[in-house]
Structure formats: structure tokens, C-alpha cells
Amino acid sequence: MQHSPVTQPVVAPPMASPVPSGKLGMWWFLSSEIVTFGGLISCYLVARLLHPSWADSSQQLNVLVATLNTIVLLVSSWTIVMAHDAVEHGDVQQAKPWLGYTILGGLLFLLIKSAEWSGKFEHGILPWSNGFWSFYFAMTGLHALHVLGGVVINVALWIAAVRGRLQPIAHRVEYAGLYWHFVDVVWIFLFPLLYLA
């Protein structure tokens, strides 16, 4: 009795994604962060509408200081773009100073924010002073943690550039830029909501 040959199933080769996995991972991470900040901002908006008296508390914020911090972040957003542009053109060494400027911008932002917070603490304004201050410290504190995270990422890339080891991981400058732009966009929402509204 003759047996028919066993046919092997045809397995299609895995399709290569047009988007690098690192970039895809960063977009997924940022999506989760959008949900986090979006939820917090939505809760704040509802609470603010229900508590018109919070306007008195918000008037105690320094708009000039917040404007300065906004400018600092926007400039640092430009410097990370320049670092990415240098990497895209194959000039890894040129990315080094731009990464350094981005780090300095992040540190300056955190320094200004720390001074602002210290001033509030000295005047007895604490997170539990009222609902507005709870939201203020929660939102600006969470944002400051993200700025700090961005600084750490950029420091790691800058160290790699200084040691001449950035070339193999140069694509990560783009991922760091995506994260840094997200941090900037969040601040663009927080600035008018907390300081101007």
C-alpha cells in the first residue's frame, strides 16, 4: 500500500514592521502617559468648574516664573531636535553639544520649579492646603518627575557621545526626542490651566 507524501504547512516569513520596535515601544509608552496625564487634567477641569473659589489660590502662582520655565522647555525642545538632526546627518559628534544643552534646559527647568515650590512651602502652602494646591502639586510634581526622567535619558546618550559610543545607538536620540517633546506638550497644557485660567 502506497502512502501519500506528508505535506508540510506553508509558513509565511514574518513581516518586517515599517516602524522600528524601539520607536513603537516609545509610542506605546507615551500613549499610556497620555492616559495618565489626560485623566489627571480631566479631573482637575471638572473640580475647577465646581470650585470657582480656586481662582483665588491660582492667583498666588507666579505667571512670570512659569513663562520663563515654558521658554526653557521650548528651547530645550529645539536643542533635542538639533541633536536628532545631527545624528540623522551622520554627525554624531555634533549631537554631543545639543544633548548637553537639552540636559541643561531640563536641569534649569527643575531648578526653577524647585525654587517655586520652596517659596510655596515657606508661605505655608502645602499639597493639603486645599483642593487646588493638591492638584497643583500632583500635576507639576508628576511632570517634574518626567522631566527628571528625560534628563537621565539624555545624560546617558551624552555620556555615550563623549565616549565615542553613540554611533551604534544613535537612533535612540530620536526616541529621547519623542519623550522630551511629550514632556513639553504636557507642560503646554499645564501652564495655562494652572497659571492663566
The pLDDT tens digits for 81-135 are 999 999 998 888 899 999 999 999 999 999 999 999 999 999 999 999 899 999 9
Distance of alpha carbon 123 from alpha carbon 86, whole angstroms: 46
Give the pLDDT score at 63.
95
18 has a pLDDT exceeding 90: no
The pLDDT tens digits for 25-75 are 888 888 999 999 999 999 999 999 999 888 898 999 999 999 999 999 999
Single-letter code of the amino acid located at 191: F
Give the pLDDT score at 23.
80
Give the pLDDT score at 130.
92
The torsion region of residue 124 among left (phi > 0), alpha (psi -120 to 50) and beta comes to left
Count of other CB atoms within 10 angstroms of residue 163:
8
pLDDT-based confidence at residue 12 (cuts at 50, 70, 90): low
Give the pLDDT score at 7.
60
Q: What are phi and psi of 125, to 5 degrees?
A: -90, 115
Tell me which CATH code domain 25-196 carries.
Answer: 1.20.120.80
Q: What b/e sequence results for 38-64 when a residue is b if at least 16 CB atoms lie within 10 Å of its CB, and e otherwise?
A: eebbeebeeebeeeeebeebbeebeee
Is there a contact between 188 and 70 (Cβ–Cβ < 8 Å)?
Answer: yes
Give the pLDDT score at 2.
57
Give the pLDDT score at 29.
87
Distance of alpha carbon 130 from alpha carbon 44, whole angstroms: 13
8 has a pLDDT exceeding 80: no
